[in-house]
Structure 1
Amino acid sequence: MQGFYVTFFTEQNRKHQGKPIGEWLIQKALELGLEGATMSTMSEGFGHDHKLHSAHFIDLSDQPVKVMLASHPEGISQLMDAIKQSNLNVAYVKTPVEFGMTLTA
């Protein structure tokens, strides 16, 4: 199947509509019926502001988070429209891909 692979980048402490942004993105993808999404926490990174974000032993609030998903063009378009309509500001990378499932007999 042809579609798009999208990765969103945020931090643990960023919230949207009362939820961490990563959770909001996963929930929205689920509501829209996208094929799947995965959220991962990272140990360190920096964004467009060139500020270093990292996980600290005691405080994880600044820990980088990424949400990754692959879906058909219509699903990704619906997700991006929902993000725009909710005024969510989040960094992303969107790449055309072929995706699917391998089946074993």
Structure 2
Amino acid sequence: MNTVCLQVFVSEASRHHGKLTYEWLLDVAQELGIAGGSAFVALAGFGRHGRHDAGFFELAGELPVVVEFFVETAMADQLLKCVADAGLTLVYAKLPAEIGVTVP
């Protein structure tokens, strides 16, 4: 199996068709049959739009969110195509991954 860790980066308050973008991504992934995904809010971050820290109340909603999936490469490509077809321009990382379960 050719498994990757697909990470998609969005801002906490960004929306697509009235829905939070990270929720939209999770919904689309579920509709595609992806077994699971998670969204993680960062404590702080910086990028093309500057630096954002959780400690500043006035920056609420601007923190980075990473939406992460462990999937086969073809499924990651299918999800990225859905993102592009929806007109979204999002930064992503697709990294080789190995999935396993520990056995006592």
Q: Which residue of 2 aligns with 1:16?
A: 16
1:5-84 correspondence runs (5 A): 5-47=5-47, 49-55=48-54, 56-57=56-57, 60-84=60-84
Corresponding residue SS for 1:87: coil
Structure 1 residue ranges (4+ consecutive) displaced by more than 6 angstroms after TM superposition:
none
How many residues align? The count is 103
Pairing 1:98–2:74 present: no
Q: Give unmatched runs, 5+ long, in structure 2.
A: none
By how many angstroms is 1:98 displaced? 2.2
What value does the CA root-mean-square deviation take over the aligned residues? 1.9
TM-score, normalization by structure 1: 0.85
TM-score under structure 2 length normalisation = 0.85
% identical aligned pairs: 30
The Cα offsets for residues 36-70 of structure 1, whole Å up to 9 and x where unpaired, read as 111011111012x1511232346521122111111
Instruction: For residue 104 of structure 1, report the CA deviation from its aligned partner.
Output: 4.5
Aligned counterpart, 1:85: 85
Equivalent residue letter for 1:54: D
| Greater alpha carbon shift after TM alignment, 87-96 vs 57-66 | 57-66
Q: Which amino acid aligns with 1:53?
A: H
- Partner of 1:98: helix, strand, or coil? coil
5+ residue gaps, structure 1 = none
Quickly say closer, same or farther: Cα 1:59–1:51, change in 2 above 3 A: closer
Conserved in 2, the CA contact under 8 Å of 1:2 and 1:99? no
Matched residue SS, 2:89: coil
Report the secondary structure of 1:30's partner residue.
helix
Measure how far apart 1:35 and its partner are. Answer: 2.2
